[in-house]
Structure 1
Amino acid sequence: MRKDWKSALYSYVNQFNRTEVDYRQPADQVVVTDLDHVMRKSTRMHMLKEWYQARESTPLRNETRTKLLRTREGEGEVVVDLEFQTRRIYEKRHIAHVEERLEQERITLNKDGDMWIITRIEQNIPERHPEERRTEKEEIVTNPEQQTSEHIPSLPLLNTDVLGMPKSWRAKPYARERAVQYADQWWNGNNPEFLAFEVDCTNYISQCLVAGGGPIHYTGKRETGWWYRGMVNNQEAWSYSWAVANALNNYLNHSDSYLQAVPVERPTDLQLGDVISYDWDGDGRFQHSAIVTAFDAGGMPLVNAHTTNSRHRYWDYRDSYAYTDRTQYRFFHIMDYF
């Protein structure tokens, strides 16, 4: 019988790690009375089993490192914020693959007699969160050729030294490998030269695109172009397309100069450095962005993303609590030359 809430929490963390690859309930299972969580977990575990089978993959093991972010102790109750850094190792066609990600949960424990039980588990699903700083203007997408030349500077407004990029902005190929290198370098952190947003997925993707040579399209208007200036006169200065998933989706779907992309039909049409937009509810508003950084043994794309920081994650996100059966994707092949 557990008399220490930390022992109960330790058992839960151990259970969290094991159930990612072993769907049987462990013998030392901690008591969880949050039935909503129990049902979500059960549904997800069943889905994961089918998901791996459909991918012709076999989970081998899961490695979890846990960080205690915050603890609030009261009389007979403890609320803990945990961060899980997981490495999921699975096999496909006799080749081992490694996926990494950061996830957060808030655990509420209550004392029940001489033992501690878990009464509530809240998953942080940031890729589903409404993006902040959104206004109706983000929906306006202006054809780049309609911009007046007075808004376009002769030099980029990013410090190219930050990304180790060449000084010339003449027409050049998209350096896909450099975009991927940047994505892997910063998948689990924020480049201090850039603002970090609470919903950071598209800001991160934009940085990756610039690292690969994507040309800034400065208009001076937040609802048009694709640009970033950081803090100017104590105010954030960036276009919606730089940091808002739906706006970047609109920009890539309409741009015919500067940064350009072609929508493709299938994930297998994508290459390294290409972009996927995610519409969880199928309502036409895209809420998440990811960049292709690798391929599995079957040629399916693996992606990096922020907000739920992920590296080499399977592209369809079916293992995310954000996923629904209405989820729609848009696949963007970034043009080879700008």
Structure 2
Amino acid sequence: MNTEWRQAIRNFYEAKNKAWLTGDGENLVKMASRPEAIRACLKDIEALRRSALARGVQYRKSRTNVKILKTTPVRDGKIRVDLLEQMTWIYNDGVEVDHQARLQPIRVTLDHSEGRWKIEKLDSIGEKEERSLIKGQLDFRAFDHELGTRQARYDRRKAQRYAELWWNGFNPQYKKFEVDCTNYVSQCMHAGGMPMAFNPRKDRGWWYRHQGGNASWSYSWAVAHALRWYLEGSGRAAVVTNPQQLKIGDVICYDWEGDGMWQHNTIVVDFNHEGMPLVNAHTVASQRRYWDYKDSYAWTEQTKYRFFHIKDAF
């Protein structure tokens, strides 16, 4: 029985790898006990392929590594499996061959009631999750910040190296957040030389500190909405209107619904042959992802962006 459900998961990911390249999700549907169980998965595949078509990109290879973290028997002959999936795509953009990757925690519930294991439910942490953290908090439009007298310079290559080192992992010197995109971007900027702006209030400055074995941090360090307003109000970054004006180590902020609630941040790590940014991110851990996120089911026609060029000196 243990071998059978593991084989069902292997079969699912083999079919998913093919679906990324062909767009045909029929075999995936057959592996689910009901179509609704994998609706989000199919939307994710559709979004990636729609984005590729719009950019003239052709995916050549898809590879997924799956690590099973935990298994839990549940009622009625079902089993719940927590796993980590790392997807890597090789693509040709018409000029050069490149890759992008994502790492995502998944919870799969499998049902054996029909005589073989089928997927009953598939849950994942997505880019939309931070909205629940924003509601009920303050509007972080104004920030005090305290800077030292020594001038610091922003080393973009150091920020890039840190972003590449930790895109699919967590630095143990910092708290790991379930919704980690802003914490990750803040770490990258700090690694590049942006000094912390300490303040005793969590809704002021930009900081992370350890005190007696306990960690504390400003909202702007860990919440996307707060970091977006901190960057604009602190004088540490300049707003630019075009993504091609950005440099390595710069930051892009995302408002999925276009309603003024900023839910996601990424850091620029490279550019394609057209000068368009490729970004790294956490929550859905992403490496060298095309900046506009139209390959994400979180993206909508109302999505707004804010492009921040981090200053070279502070």
Q: Report if TM-score (shorter chain) is over 0.5.
A: yes
CA contact (8 A) 2:256 2:302 kept: yes
Sequence identity, in percent?
Answer: 38
Structure 1 unaligned segments of length 5 or more: list them.
145-151, 155-168
Matched pairs, number: 311
- Note the C-alpha offset of 1:153: 7.8
Aligned match for 2:215, one of 225, 228, 236: 236
Larger radius of gyration: 1
Question: 2:246: which partner in 1?
Answer: 270
Question: 2:83: which partner in 1?
Answer: 82
CA contact (8 A) 1:80 1:108 kept: yes
Once residues 113 and 217 of structure 1 are traced to their aligned partners in structure 2, the CA distance between those partners, rounded to angstroms, is 59
- Note the C-alpha offset of 1:235: 4.6
CA contact (8 A) 2:156 2:249 kept: yes
CA contact (8 A) 2:141 2:233 kept: no
Question: 1:56: which partner in 2?
Answer: 56
Question: 1:211: which partner in 2?
Answer: 191
| Amino acid corresponding to residue 175 of structure 1 in structure 2 | D
CA contact (8 A) 1:34 1:121 kept: no
Q: 1:103 to 1:213 in 2, by over 3 A?
A: same
Question: 2:17: which partner in 1?
Answer: 17
| Amino acid corresponding to residue 267 of structure 1 in structure 2 | P
- Note the C-alpha offset of 1:261: 0.7
CA contact (8 A) 2:16 2:28 kept: no
Range that drifts further, 177-186 or 66-75 = 66-75
Aligned match for 1:281, one of 257, 260, 265: 257
CA contact (8 A) 1:187 1:310 kept: yes
Question: 1:330: which partner in 2?
Answer: 306
- Note the C-alpha offset of 1:298: 2.0
1:225 matched to 2:205: yes
Question: 1:111: which partner in 2?
Answer: 112
Question: 1:306: which partner in 2?
Answer: 282
Q: C-alpha offsets along residues 5-44 of structure 1, whole Å, 9 cap, x if unaligned?
A: 2222221121122211122347697431332245444444
Question: 1:4: which partner in 2?
Answer: 4
Q: C-alpha offsets along residues 229-282 of structure 1, whole Å, 9 cap, x if unaligned?
A: 13x2465322111111111101111113xxx11111121111100001111121
CA contact (8 A) 1:282 1:327 kept: yes
Q: 1:239 to 1:25 in 2, by over 3 A?
A: closer
CA contact (8 A) 1:138 1:223 kept: no
Question: 1:94: which partner in 2?
Answer: 95
Question: 1:181: which partner in 2?
Answer: 161
CA contact (8 A) 1:140 1:224 kept: no
Once residues 139 and 89 of structure 1 are traced to their aligned partners in structure 2, the CA distance between those partners, rounded to angstroms, is 40
Once residues 329 and 19 of structure 1 are traced to their aligned partners in structure 2, the CA distance between those partners, rounded to angstroms, is 30
CA contact (8 A) 1:128 1:322 kept: no
| Amino acid corresponding to residue 265 of structure 1 in structure 2 | T
Once residues 98 and 264 of structure 2 are traced to their aligned partners in structure 1, the CA distance between those partners, rounded to angstroms, is 24
Aligned match for 2:180, one of 186, 195, 200: 200
CA contact (8 A) 2:131 2:261 kept: no
| Amino acid corresponding to residue 192 of structure 2 in structure 1 | G
Q: C-alpha offsets along residues 110-165 of structure 1, whole Å, 9 cap, x if unaligned?
A: 12443222222223215523465976346252354xxxxxxx586xxxxxxxxxxx
**Helix, strand or coil at the partner of 1:11:** helix
Once residues 37 and 273 of structure 2 are traced to their aligned partners in structure 1, the CA distance between those partners, rounded to angstroms, is 34
**Helix, strand or coil at the partner of 2:185:** helix
Once residues 119 and 296 of structure 2 are traced to their aligned partners in structure 1, the CA distance between those partners, rounded to angstroms, is 22
Question: 1:157: which partner in 2?
Answer: none
Q: C-alpha offsets along residues 307-335 of structure 1, whole Å, 9 cap, x if unaligned?
A: 21111111111222322222211110111
Q: 1:25 to 1:221 in 2, by over 3 A?
A: closer
